[in-house]
Amino acid sequence: MPDLVILAFTDFHGRQDTYRKAKQLISREQPTLVVVAGDLVNYDAEHAKQLLLELGQAGRPIYFVPGNMDNADLGDWAGSDRIHPLHGRCEHADELCLIGLGGSPLGPFKFSFGFTEESAARLLNSLAKNCYGSRMILVSHCPPRNTKIDRVLSGEHVGSISVREFVERVQPLLVISGHIHEAQGVDKIGSTTLVNTGAAQYDCFARIMLGQTVTVSFQKLL
């Protein structure tokens, strides 16, 4: 079976020039699929829809979850046959099963889209029941707690407890996250590969190859 290629982005925060460069990259490389793990813009749902449609014009399927800075209603929006919202959904593509969790855990700061850990656990558990096969990918804007990819500059771990517990129990093939801009990297929980793509607003993205193993490289948009 040939390798599957994922171009993964997160945390655009509405940067028009970055979307333009991402679209050009997708058009050139024609990956198997594209993942956008949240914070497409800052609050403006109509702008987010416009930018997703522009990415879709590159000709590849786009799978996304809204981030904590996005409007939660965006999680139900599919503006074309290439745009696939993943929050609270299970989608099958190229022998992969993709599930999604948007937003981030509720805390002391105000933002557009938050969840309680209890509600996130219920949602993830319900999705797992519908996602068969060993090649499950979880797209979660917020990374799992106590990993290399959820650590802020102070050293504190601020990821999701429910995402961590889900990964420990279910062991998906891959988790793609963002949210913590300074925590770009790769980690493992058991057999699961964890990826924080780095913030697209700083031209960061991840190229992920799925073959016999999971191979991740971090690059910059040109």
**pLDDT tens figures, 24-66:** 999 999 999 999 999 999 999 999 999 999 999 999 999 999 9
pLDDT at residue 1 is higher than 60: no
What pLDDT was estimated at residue 23? 98
What's the CA gap between 27 and 38, in Å, rounded? Answer: 21
Q: CA neighbours within 13 Å on the CB side: how many for 70? A: 36
What pLDDT was estimated at residue 133? 67
212 close to 220: Cβ distance less than 8 angstroms? no
Q: What is the pTM (predicted TM-score) of this model?
A: 0.96
pLDDT tens-digit map of 144-180 = 999 999 999 999 999 999 999 999 999 999 999 999 9
What's the CA gap between 159 and 60, in Å, rounded? Answer: 30
pLDDT tens-digit map of 64-119 = 999 999 999 999 999 899 999 999 999 999 889 999 999 999 976 778 899 999 99
Q: Is 132 exposed, middle or buried (0-12, 13-18, 19+ CB in 10 A)?
A: exposed
Using the 8-state DSSP alphabet, how is residue 71 labeled? -
218 close to 204: Cβ distance less than 8 angstroms? yes
What domains can be seen in the chain, in order of their start residue? Answer: 4-220 (3.60.21.10)
What pLDDT was estimated at residue 31? 97
What's the CA gap between 72 and 103, in Å, rounded? Answer: 8
Q: HEC string of 77-128?
A: CCCCCCEEECECCEEEECCEEEEEECCEECCCCCCCCEECHHHHHHHHHHHH
What pLDDT was estimated at residue 131? 81
pLDDT at residue 134 is higher than 60: yes
Q: How confident is the model at residue 124 (pLDDT cuts 50, 70, 90)?
A: very high
Structure tokens at 141: 């804007």
What's the CA gap between 63 and 152, in Å, rounded? Answer: 26
User: Using alpha carbons only, how large is the chain's radius of gyration in Å?
Assistant: 15
